[in-house]
Amino acid sequence: MASHQSPTRRPGVSRRVWLASALAVSLAAAGVAGVQVSRAATIDPSTPLSKLAASTCADRTYSAMTTAQRVGQLFMGGVTPSAPDSKRIALMQQYHVGSVFLAGRSKAGTAATKSVVDGLQAKADTVAGHRVGLLVSTDQEGGQVQVLSGPGFSTIPSALTQGTWTTTQLRSASAGWAKELKSAGVNLNLAPVADVVPASLGTGNPPIGKFNREFGHTAAVVAPHSDAFLEGSLQSGVLATLKHFPGLGYVRGNTDTTAGVVDSVTTSTSSSITPFKSGIQAGAPFVMISSATYSKIDAKNRAAFSSTVIQTLLRKNLGFKGVVISDDLGNAVAVKAVAPGDRAVKFLSAGGDVVLTVEPNLIPAMTKAVQSRMTQSSAFSTQVNQSVHRILNAKQKAGLLTCS
């Protein structure tokens, strides 16, 4: 095979321009055409050449997409694995939905679930000759929140029980549970729960404590166990999600079933933020945003619609660079008073990336609102651009996107 050498950097040629030229040669060698040296203006001189080559896959895929395909990547729609609704699946395919959420309990086991997922993946969009695979997620926390069970799946104990294990034991167990998910075609787990429920509230906390979904009652217990669950999942090749930022441990209402849920305790520096900070440092690729309102952080907006929560606290203060996903914006009572299209636009405007709706029939109204907003606001369009890139980069890490 003929060798391909990067151009020698000549005197007077900036590293920035030289990097772009070297990158173009490297990609041409790999059969990647159409890379312009004019891209140099966007290249950080400190970025290693290998990273530049890897990052262009998302760029090239994005460039080849239609607007409808780009917008579709911003959505995750619900599918019932035990009884997939062909009409809803066809709707999601029509709107180029890039991710699915396996919702509702299934006892069918890994092989049957894999068959359902393979059918969904076969309907994923093809862009520039390459299939852009679906992120396939579920809630596989353990205890009362384990969507998938049956042959091939372990019975996972509650997080409260997991929190009594050593972190080494939990990391190993989590890696095993993630392998089961992967064998079923699931590449994203909407877990671990990083919320801290104080012992004084315990089961009096409807969304988390009532179901023993917390690893413990202090940040000192939750953070290392949440990290261990996260690390085990990533070790087995399944993306994981810290939830429900900035925490649902102090609320007295469940946002799925209750409107006007307010946390009047948590601040931007509360110890209950620590598990999220720790998980981000441990490499969390996804963070889910709560739909409660945090009166001491942003009293005017639900967290899912708050740029203070997403842009300032999560991204700026905690340094999160991954994918921000919403809690359910479809059936959740917390957002029922907001028109479906506005829910999507508000979440994305606040800095979110993936709109999760358990009810996919809302996706047409949501995508229409997003596309309309894009025509009205260049700033919003820029945010959409950034969000789609984050999602495509996550897909590349999950092996769902290739440009070779």
1 belongs to a structural domain: no
Q: What is the dihedral of CA 179, 209, 194, 150, to 10 degrees?
A: 10
Q: Tokens 């076969």 — which residue?
A: 122
2 belongs to a structural domain: no
* 106 three-state secondary structure: strand
DSSP 42: G
**CA 9 centroid distance within chain:** 40
10 pLDDT higher than 60: no
Q: For the segment 229-257, what is each residue's pLDDT rounded down to a tens digit?
A: 999 999 999 999 999 999 999 999 999 99
Specify the higher pLDDT residue, 37 or 59.
59
Do residue 322 and residue 345 come from a single domain?
Answer: yes
How far apart CA 218 and CA 201 sit, in angstroms, is 12
pLDDT at residue number 24: 42
How far apart CA 310 and CA 324 sit, in angstroms, is 8
pLDDT average, residue stretch 151-163? 98
73 belongs to a structural domain: yes
pLDDT average, residue stretch 336-361? 98
Residue 100's contacts (CB-CB under 8 Å, 6 or more residues apart) are 76, 77, 78, 79, 92, 120, 134, 135, 136, 137
Residue-number span of the structural domain to which 313 is assigned: 60-397
55 belongs to a structural domain: no
Do residue 29 and residue 76 come from a single domain?
Answer: no
Do residue 42 and residue 161 come from a single domain?
Answer: no
pTM for the model:
0.87
6 belongs to a structural domain: no
209 belongs to a structural domain: yes
Long-range contacts of 150-155 (CB under 8 A, 24+ apart): 150/106, 150/107, 150/108, 150/109, 150/110, 150/112, 151/109, 151/110, 151/111, 152/109, 152/110, 152/111, 152/180, 152/183, 152/184, 153/109, 153/110, 153/180, 153/184, 154/180
How far apart CA 345 and CA 134 sit, in angstroms, is 22
Do residue 239 and residue 387 come from a single domain?
Answer: yes
DSSP string spanning 231-271? HHHHHTT-EEEEEEET-STT-SS-TTT-SS-EESS--TT-G
Of 7-11, 113-117, 140-144, the poorest mean pLDDT is in 7-11
- Alpha-carbon distance values, 291 to 196, 259, 325 (Å): 16, 10, 11
DSSP 126: E
pLDDT at residue number 402: 85
| Phi, psi (degrees; rounded to nearest 5) at 369 | -65, -40
CATH number at residue 86: 3.20.20.300
Q: Are 285 and 323 in contact (CB under 8 A)?
A: yes
* 135 three-state secondary structure: strand
Q: Which of 6, 25, 47 is the last residue of a domain?
A: 47
pLDDT at residue number 55: 53
Please provide the distance, in angstroms rounded to a whole number, between the alpha carbons at the two ends of the chain. Answer: 17
Do residue 121 and residue 39 come from a single domain?
Answer: no
pLDDT average, residue stretch 378-403? 95
Do residue 123 and residue 158 come from a single domain?
Answer: yes
75 pLDDT higher than 60: yes
DSSP 333: G
How far apart CA 258 and CA 395 sit, in angstroms, is 33
Q: Tokens 């404590």 — which residue?
A: 209
One-letter amino acid of 274: T
Q: Are 272 and 196 in contact (CB under 8 A)?
A: yes
Tally of domains in the chain: 2
365 belongs to a structural domain: yes
5 pLDDT higher than 70: no
pLDDT average, residue stretch 37-41? 36
Do residue 344 and residue 368 come from a single domain?
Answer: yes
pLDDT at residue number 8: 45
How far apart CA 133 and CA 131 sit, in angstroms, is 6
Q: Are 204 and 211 in contact (CB under 8 A)?
A: no
pLDDT at residue number 42: 42
How far apart CA 376 and CA 239 sit, in angstroms, is 34
Do residue 248 and residue 276 come from a single domain?
Answer: yes
- Which two structure tokens, joined as six digits, stand for 238? 């399944």
pLDDT at residue number 274: 98
pLDDT average, residue stretch 143-157? 98
pLDDT average, residue stretch 266-276? 98
Do residue 184 and residue 119 come from a single domain?
Answer: yes
4 pLDDT higher than 90: no
7 belongs to a structural domain: no
Q: For the segment 82-134, what is each residue's pLDDT rounded down to a tens digit?
A: 999 999 999 999 999 999 999 999 999 999 999 999 999 999 999 988 999 99
**CA 148 centroid distance within chain:** 19
347 pLDDT higher than 70: yes
22 pLDDT higher than 90: no
Q: Are 265 and 200 in contact (CB under 8 A)?
A: no
Do residue 32 and residue 121 come from a single domain?
Answer: no
Do residue 38 and residue 64 come from a single domain?
Answer: no
Q: For the segment 163-195, what is each residue's pLDDT rounded down to a tens digit?
A: 999 999 999 999 999 999 999 999 999 999 999
Mean pLDDT (the chain, rounded):
89
pLDDT at residue number 403: 83
Do residue 35 and residue 155 come from a single domain?
Answer: no
